[in-house]
Amino acid sequence: MISSIMGWLEHRAGVKKLFAAMLLEGVPGGAKWRYVWGSCLAFVLSIQLITGLLLMTAYSPSASQAWSSVHFIQYQMDFGWLIRGLHHFGSQTMMVLIALHMVQVVIAGAHLAPRELNWWLGIGLLGVTFGLSLTGYLLPWDQKGYWATRVATNIANNIPVLGPHIRQLVVGGPDYGNHTLTRFYALHVAILPGALIMLLIAHIAIFRRHGVTSKENVEGLVTKPENEHGAEPFYPRQAFYDMIACMVVFAVMMTMVMYGFGHTVTETRKEGDPEPNLYQRWAKAGQKGLGADLDAAADRDTANYPARPEWYFLFLFQLLKYFDGPTVLVGTVIIPNGIMVVLTLLPLFGIGRMRTFGWWFSIVFVVALLAVAGLLTLFALRDDSPNGILGGMFKNTDEKSKAKADKFVHDREAAEVLAKRACQLAMDGTPVEGGHLLIRNDPYVSGRRLFEKNCGSCHTFSKRDGDKFENWIPKDLDGKIIATAGDLGDFASKDWIRGLLKDPMDAKYFGHIKDPADKAKHALTGMRNWRRGIDGAQERWKEAKDGDAKIATQEKDLDLIAEWLAHQREPLAKRIEMFEKYRPHQAAFFSKVNKCSSCHAIEKGDVDLDTKKVDFKVDGGGDGAPDLTGYGSAAWIRAMIMRPGHATRYGEKNLMPAFRNLEGTGSEFHLQEFREGNPNTKDGDIQHLSDVEREAIIRWMLRDYRPIYGGAPIR
């Protein structure tokens, strides 16, 4: 049957001649291991083309969706992590193989006549490969690729006269965005691969014309075709060598993919969902960190991102450090392009009788070039490592360089935290406007920053057990504490409220507040006087027989009040359900002895005698004390932020500015309405805070780290 099929194919397509042309080519001098590098490059290129086509099926080349689509490939698409990982590490493998192939070519003298045209085609392939690496680096539209591409494209500005025009042509406009991404995408998937394939076909065709370079075939088969008679066929020995080398290269690539450079994430699963089977676990192994890494989505408003190119471009990055000011053109244009010119001219140095000189010069130049590139790469890694590299063999010696390295490591670690956070948040979806909003609108990241900016000039924010951030304490440039308001790190929790009831003048509460000239308009006057009354009563009770019991009862009441007030942030349905449990707590609050309700209003629960249902109505309250209905909830904090001078908050005793959206839709109307309701409010007492920023601060305070979409109030 096989013979019949092969006979049919031979009759229709001449497959025997095709196989003979592919596998029975003569190898003058016999098969050698050193001939495998070209085949390895072709093999890796094939992997790049196949994985690239598969990635195109799920990739969306738009600034708002590119990162989301890559995130989907990495974490959701079956074996997307494997496809992307092979493509990512394949590009790096090609750079290593190109260097090895170049060294092997010049050592063999395969760049000299009559093979100089093939060398020039190889230089063209080198340039196209660099272009593919540069354009592909941007396509995930993550922070790492975005900022590295900005650095690379800004170098074009240094080219005299044409520089700004070249940069604008590449970027697609004055700034980086959709046009930049679509241009790089077109270059990466169509123009450059097309050029690469055409150059590769020409490269292989000319190679086949002249054959491998050996002492038996120095001048090529065209000038001495008789050399082919003693050649060893490509198949089987050289084909076997090539296959083994390709498998080793593939094993190295797979090792990198399986080692895992990505961020681990947890997929949201509903209760009752079956556990993933073996296929599903491997199909989505990217969630375990396998494959290539993915940084947070590109955000041009990021400050001081530690931008670095891929490792194979680090030598150019390091080179730029030695040229600044007037000499920047030397490092960015003259030296790199000068090297390419010399590489192009190498075959011409070995014409005629100068062949031996040209051969030695080429070896020295290429080896020295790779050695210098390697050293520059090591120096770049050293400059970013406070303790040096290679066991301390390469390390910074001056304090200034160490400080820069420390800062880079700190910034890099911070960026990694954001990247992991963004990848995890995106498991529940990304905003239509772009993945960058995941971090911008993330309470865990931006909530703290916004708190420090808008609230942190007055308030401290201490961490709870389990929090992974440091305490925030407002200080001046000399390190002196300048807090003028309470600590909100544990705001409205049972312990926080109990501490307030115990000592309102503690630094955690009202201790930092400076008495205004008019003490009657002081937010803490009532609480301070209330505590003085409690302390005075307990002092008098000590003289009575049952004084200790009265004091114990009083302290127990304060415990109940703190627990009940902390319960107020629960939704109404939960408070109705728990009413009987908290009935004694409510009684303690409304007790005439404790006098809480004489100043503060709050929703009081009562049981309707007819329906037997619990009904909550606002009860109690006095002049200038906050309404404690829903105390500590998102709604309570929101009202405090937007209208602290309202009668349900601190009224005329308020010392806090109102934070409102002064730039959103209808903001002028809402601001006018606010001023009419608060005639004593001055312009300086109103500060801008967008809806999204406000909700980020609220969620930060509540440790609710879900991302915010659209700025709608949370409940």
DSSP string, 12-58: HH-HHHHHHHHH--EETT---GGGHHHHHHHHHHHHHHHHHHHHHTT
* pLDDT attached to residue 714: 57
Q: Is 70 exceeded by the pLDDT of residue 224? A: no
Identify which has the larger pLDDT, 74 or 302.
74
With a cut of 70, say whether residue 40 has pLDDT above it. yes
pLDDT at 33 over 80: yes
Task: Give yes or no for residue 579 having a pLDDT over 50.
Answer: yes
Distance CA 253, CA 97 (A): 12
pLDDT band at 10 (very low <50, low <70, confident <90, very high): confident
| 474 vs 45: CA distance, rounded Å | 56
Structural domains of the chain in order of their starting residue, each with its CATH number: 2-26+34-263+279-298 (1.20.810.10), 530-629 (no CATH)
Residues 6+ apart with CB under 8 A from 218: 109
Place of tokens 């072709």: 42
Q: What confidence category does residue 519 fall into, taking pLDDT thresholds of 50, 70 and 90?
A: very low
Query: In whole angstroms, what is the distance from residue 316 CA to residue 603 CA?
Result: 68
Average the pLDDT over each of 20-34, 507-521, 664-678 and give the range with the smallest value. Answer: 507-521
| Mean pLDDT over each residue of the chain, to the nearest integer | 89
Q: What does the pLDDT read at residue 81? A: 98
Q: Are 70 and 84 in contact (CB under 8 A)?
A: yes
% of the chain beyond a pLDDT of 90 = 59
**Per-residue pLDDT tens digits for 137-176:** 999 999 999 999 998 888 877 777 888 888 888 888 888 9
| Dihedral over alpha carbons 305, 66, 310, 290 (to 10 degrees) | 110
Q: Rounded to an integer, what distance in angstroms lies between the CA atom of residue 311 and that of residue 380?
A: 9
Name the more confident of 231 and 415: 415
DSSP 660: E
pLDDT for 520 equals 45
pLDDT of residue 522 exceeding 70, the answer is no
Rg over alpha carbons for the chain, rounded to the nearest Å, is 36
Q: How confident is the model at residue 28 (pLDDT cuts 50, 70, 90)?
A: confident
Say yes or no to pLDDT of 711 above 60.
no
**pLDDT for the residue 526:** 77
Can you state the angle between helices 525-541 and 494-502, rounded to 10 degrees? Answer: 70
Average pLDDT over residues 405-414: 92
Which residues, listed in sequence order, are joined to residue 297 by a DSSP beta bridge?
142
Contacts of 137 (CB under 8 A, 6+ apart): 145, 148, 149, 309, 310
Summarised one tens digit per residue, pLDDT across range 106-140 is 999 999 999 999 999 999 999 999 999 999 999 99
Looking at residues 24-45, what average pLDDT do you find?
91
Q: Report pLDDT for 14.
A: 81
Residue 190: the pLDDT is 96
Q: What is the pLDDT of residues 601-611, one digit of tens each?
A: 999 999 887 78
Mean pLDDT (whole number) for 355-379:
96
Q: Please provide the distance, in angstroms rounded to a whole number, between the alpha carbons at the two ends of the chain.
A: 73
The answer on pLDDT for 17 being more than 90 is no
Q: How far apart are CA 149 and CA 155, in angstroms?
A: 10
What pLDDT does residue 712 have?
57
**Average pLDDT value for residue range 467-475:** 88
Percent of the chain with pLDDT over 70: 95
Res. 270: pLDDT tops 80 = no
Half-sphere exposure of 698 (CA within 13 A, CB side): 27
pLDDT at 601: 94
Please check the confidence at residue 521 and state whether its pLDDT lies above 60: no
Can you say whether residue 457 is alpha, beta or left, with left for phi > 0 and alpha for psi between -120 and 50 degrees? alpha
Residue 226's pLDDT is 60
Q: How many angstroms separate the Cα of 555 from the Cα of each of 232, 535, 552, 593, 595?
A: 99, 11, 5, 12, 14
- Please check whether residue 530 is in contact with residue 599, taking contact to mean a CB–CB distance below 8 angstroms: yes
> What's the pLDDT band for 515 if we cut at 50, 70, 90?
low
Q: Range with the lowest mean pLDDT among 43-57, 185-199, 583-597?
A: 583-597
What confidence tens digit (pLDDT) does each residue in 319-355 have? 988 988 788 889 888 999 999 999 999 999 999 899 9
- Residue 561 tokens read as 């009040």
Whole-angstrom distance, CA of residue 71 vs CA of residue 422: 10
